[in-house]
Amino acid sequence: MRFTKSAFQRLPTDLDTILVASFGRAGSTLVFEAVSKALAAQRFFLPQSFSKRLVRDHDTFFLSMGSLKRGVVYKTHDYPSSLNGNLDRVKAIFLFGSAVDAALSVYQQKQTHGEDWIKLHFQHLRQPYRFNDLFKEDVLGLEEQCRAWMTCTSIPVLCMRYETLWTSTDALSQFCGTTIELPEKRARKPKHINADLLKLANSI
């Protein structure tokens, strides 16, 4: 009998469900990968390259899509108000950073990945597509995201700023109930942004 990913995820476990939430471009992929590896090592005695895929589900998962599985890590840009069902043993890590950096990163992603990628990103953020207003107002809903997760009381939430991740691994490990190891910190690639546009972004 060949076990599917879904079958592995249904195996009993005492591990918590962990949500890695963010408003985007704030280290969520990095933390999602690290937490997935840690839970996989604790839950399955299988090669990490294979097992880490067994404990994660639905990148940019909409929290209203279905019930959350125990011992599985979910990456999301959704709001805690979308949570439904049994929330026992569900925890969330909310990552945030500079709003200016997030907006500049989205601007650069359009140059790299095109408009379809950006439209999908706005959809994941549950925001109407208003890329042309990116440097005029908070069209990404960053303030709304921060307020929602930082005041959430339905589940335990650990809020972490991107820049402090590498000095807060002990807190991250304690919250997740397993040792989390982040990759070596690397300087973010410089953004090639027009000087006038950069000035506009920093004036918001």
| DSSP structure class, residue 67 | P
Separation CA 21–CA 32 (nearest Å): 9
Two structure tokens written together for 120 = 């999908």
Encode pLDDT of 128-183 as tens digits. Answer: 999 999 988 999 999 999 999 999 999 999 999 998 999 999 999 999 998 999 98
- Nearest CA-CA partner of 23 in 128, 100, 97, 92: 97
Encode pLDDT of 60-73 as tens digits. Answer: 578 887 778 888 88
Computed over every residue of the chain, the mean pLDDT equals 83
Separation CA 74–CA 81 (nearest Å): 16
* H helices, E strands: number in the chain: 8, 5
Is 79's pLDDT higher than 90? yes
Residue type, 91: K
